[in-house]
């Protein structure tokens, strides 16, 4: 049973518009959530995170929203830029589990000029 799900394998948006990437989780023990960005043939890089005690965290063009009751989080990128085109992974962790993260399958974002 997949505990972290990214139901949209791909997303295409126009440059300058908003990109919204979604992630759902099933394990209520998760208390920390992260987004990573990955280019082909490279390792993922950390983008932004949120603790379960918050419902929003913002860093420049990137904002993560957490809805604990729905077990849902989303990453908003505004405005989207062609350089944002990459695979975005959602990950979830809990402090009882040795800092391990469970990853979703990723969403490929394409930003068209």
Partner 1 sequence: DGGITQSPKYLFRKEGQNVTLSCEQNLNHDAMYWYRQDPGQGLRLIYYSQIVNDFQKGDIAEGYSVSREKKESFPLTVTSAQKNPTAFYLCASRSGQSYEQYFGPGTRLTVT
Q: Is 88 in the site for partner 1 (CB under 8 A)?
A: no
Please list every residue from 44 through 63 that binds partner 1, using CB under 8 A.
44-46, 49
Using the rule CB under 8 A, which residue among 9, 54, 58, 67 binds partner 1? 9
- Radius of gyration of the chain from its Cα atoms, rounded to whole angstroms: 13
Residue 32 in contact with partner 1, rule: CB under 8 A: yes
- From 73, 75, 89, 111, residue interacting with partner 1 (rule: CB under 8 A): 89
Residue 41 in contact with partner 1, rule: CB under 8 A: yes
CA separation, residue 14 to residues 35, 63, 74, 101, 109 (Å): 21, 18, 19, 31, 11
Cα(111)–Cα(59) distance, integer angstroms = 19
Nearest CA to 66 out of 90, 33, 105 is that of 33
Among 53, 60, 83, 99, binds partner 1 (CB under 8 A): 99
Nearer residue to partner 1 within complex by CB, 13 or 87 = 87
Rounded CA-CA distance 24/83 in Å is: 25
> First and final CA of the chain: distance in angstroms?
38
Q: Is 35 in the site for partner 1 (CB under 8 A)?
A: no
* 110 counts as binding partner 1 under rule CB under 8 A: no
- Which residues contribute to the site for partner 1 (CB under 8 A)? 4, 6, 9, 32, 34, 36, 41-46, 49, 89, 93, 98-101, 103-106
């Amino acid at each position: 049973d997949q505990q972290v799900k990214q139901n949209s394998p791909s997303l295409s948006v126009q440059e300058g518009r908003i990109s919204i990437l979604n992630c759902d989780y099933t394990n209520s023990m998760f208390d920390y959530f992260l987004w990573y960005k990955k280019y082909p043939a490279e390792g993922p890089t950390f983008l932004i995170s949120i603790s379960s005690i918050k419902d929003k965290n913002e860093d420049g063009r990137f904002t993560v929203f957490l809805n604990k009751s729905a077990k849902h989080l989303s990453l908003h990128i505004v405005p989207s830029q062609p350089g944002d085109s990459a695979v975005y992974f959602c990950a979830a962790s809990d402090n009882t589990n040795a800092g391990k993260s469970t990853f979703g399958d990723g969403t490929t974002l394409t930003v068209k000029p």
